[in-house]
Amino acid sequence: MHIHRLDISGIRNIDKARLDGLGQVNVFYGANGSGKTSILESLHMLCLGRSFRSRQFRSVIQDGKEASTVFTSVTDLSSGKKTSAGVSRSRSSSPEIRINGESINTLAVLAQLFPLQLLSADSFELIEGGPAIRRQFLDWGVFHVEHSFISHWQAVKKCIKHRNSLLRHGKIHDSSLEAWDHELAEKGALIDKARAGYIERFQPVFAETVERVAGLKGLSLEYYKGWSRDDDLASALAGARDKDVQQGYTSVGPHRADLRIRAQGRAASEVLSRGQEKILVCALRLAQASVLRGTSGKECIFLIDDLPSELDASYRASLCVELERLNAQAFITCIEPREIESLWSKEVNVCMFHVEHGDISISES
C-alpha cells in the first residue's frame, strides 16, 4: 500500500497541509518544534486512530480548533486498486473513520489497511520496558497473519474482565467461575497456538535480519505463553485459583505472555549498549515487515522520528538498505537533510520536505 496524498488539518501547529505525490521515502527536515513530528503523528492517527506522543488526544488538536482530520489516498502496489481513507477526532468523541466514503466503526479495519511500524525514542522500550510492550509487538504480527486472532483476543479480555470482577468482589461461586475458566482456557489456547506459530515463523527471519542489519550474534527470542509450559491453561487456572482469590486478579493466562529477548543467554538490556539496543529494535521491526510481506504480500509503512539522533552513520545506512530491500514506504524526520538523502540508491524515489512553523514545502535538497 502506497500513500500518495496526505491532507492534515488541525494537528498541533499544522493548520492545513496537503502533500501530493509522496514518494517511497519522504524526509521532513527543519528545526526543533517546526512540526516535523506532528506529520508522523498525523500518519499514526490515520493508521491507528491515535497519537504515539500523547494518550490525551485533546492535546493533539490545534488550539482554537474543535477537531483534527487526516485524509489520504492510497494505491495497492500489487493490484493498482485505489482507496481513500480519513480519520477525524474531536475533543469530545471517539474517532470518526471513513473508508471510500463509508463509515467504519472499528479501528481494526484501519490497522489492517495500513500495517504500521514506528521507530522513535520511546519505541526502544521494547527492550527495556515491561512485558506488555513486547506482547503488543508480538500481537501486531499475529493480528496481520491470523484473521481470527482479534476475535479470540476480544473473547479472552471479556473472560478475564468477568473473572477478575468475581475475584475482586469475593463472589466465588464454583459454577460461575468455572464457566469463565472454561471459556478462558479454550480461547487462551487458541491465542497461544497463534502466537507460538508466529514466533516459529518469525525466528529465522529475525536471525537473518539482525545479522544483516546489525552484525549482532548470540541473540535469541524466548516466548513465554503466560503460564507453565508443562501445563495446559485449564490446569494452570485451577492451580492458581487460591492465589487469584487472595490477590483479586487472574495471575496466569495469555494476558501475562512475554517475548523475552536475550543476548548471550542474559536479558538483552543487561548486555547490549544503547546503540546496539537501538539497532536491535530496528531489526525486530524490519523482521516483522519481512514476515508480513512474505505471508500476505503487504508492505509496511515505517514512521521514523529523528533518525540521525537514534542511530549512528553505519547503522543508519544499514537500516535504509533494508527498508529499500523491503520496498517499504518510509516517513522520516531529521534536522539536517544531508544526513539522510545520500543513504538511498538512485532507484528510490526520495521526496524532501522542509517544515517551518507548521508549514510544509517541497524541497530540492
Full pLDDT tens readout for the chain, 365 residues:
789 999 999 999 899 999 998 999 999 999 988 999 999 999 999 899 888 887 777 788 888 888 899 999 888 777 778 889 999 988 877 788 999 989 888 888 888 889 999 998 888 899 999 999 999 999 999 999 888 999 999 999 999 999 999 888 766 666 778 889 999 999 999 999 999 999 999 999 999 999 999 888 889 999 999 999 989 999 999 999 889 988 999 999 999 999 999 998 899 989 988 888 889 999 999 999 999 999 988 889 999 998 767 678 888 888 999 999 999 999 999 888 887 878 888 888 999 999 998 899 988 65
φ, ψ of residue 331 to 5 degrees: the values are -125, 115
Which residue is it, cell 515463523?
201
* Number of neighbouring beta carbons within 10 Å of residue 85: 21
Cα 195 to Cα 227: distance, rounded to the nearest angstrom: 14
pTM for the full predicted model: 0.92
Q: Residues 6 or more apart from 50 whose CB is under 8 A from it?
A: 44, 57, 95
Largest CA distance in the chain: 70
Cell triple for 89: 477526532
Burial status of residue 98 (CB atoms within 10 A of its CB: 0-12, 13-18, 19 or more): middle
Q: Residues 6 or more apart from 360 whose CB is under 8 A from it?
A: 14, 17, 19, 28, 35, 39, 353, 354
Question: Which DSSP symbol is given to 298?
Answer: P
Q: What is the pLDDT of residue 330?
A: 95
